[in-house]
Amino acid sequence: MEKEVVIITGGAGYIGGTTAERFARSGKQVIIFDINRERVEEVASRIGAKGMVVNITDYREVTAAVEQVIAEFGKVDILVNAAGGSARSRMKRFADQDMEVIRDVIDMNLYGCLNCTRAIIPSMISRKSGVIVNISSAVALGGIAGCVDYGASKGAIIAATKGLAIELGQDNIRVNCVCPGKVQRPAEQPADPHAFAYKHSYLNYIATADDVADLVEFLASSKARYITGQNYVIDGGRSLGLRGDVNRTDS
Q: For the segment 7-66, what is each residue's pLDDT rounded down to a tens digit?
A: 999 999 999 999 999 999 999 999 999 999 999 999 999 999 999 999 999 999 999 999
Residues paired with residue 232 on neighbouring β-strands, in sequence order: 178
Question: Has residue 168 got a pLDDT over 50?
Answer: yes
Domain 5-187+207-241 has CATH 3.30.70.20: no
- Min mean pLDDT across 7-21, 35-49, 129-143, 188-202 is at 188-202
Helix runs in the chain, H state only: 14-25, 37-47, 59-73, 99-106, 112-127, 139-142, 148-168, 193-200, 209-220
DSSP conformation class of 64: H
Top pLDDT among 45 and 248 is at: 45
Distance CA 208, CA 212 (A): 7
What pLDDT shows up at residue 251? 42
d(CA 153, CA 151): 6
pLDDT for residue 210? 96
Catalytic residues: 150
The angle formed by the CA atoms of residues 127, 132 and 137, to the nearest 5 degrees, is 170
Whether residue 250 has pLDDT greater than 90: no
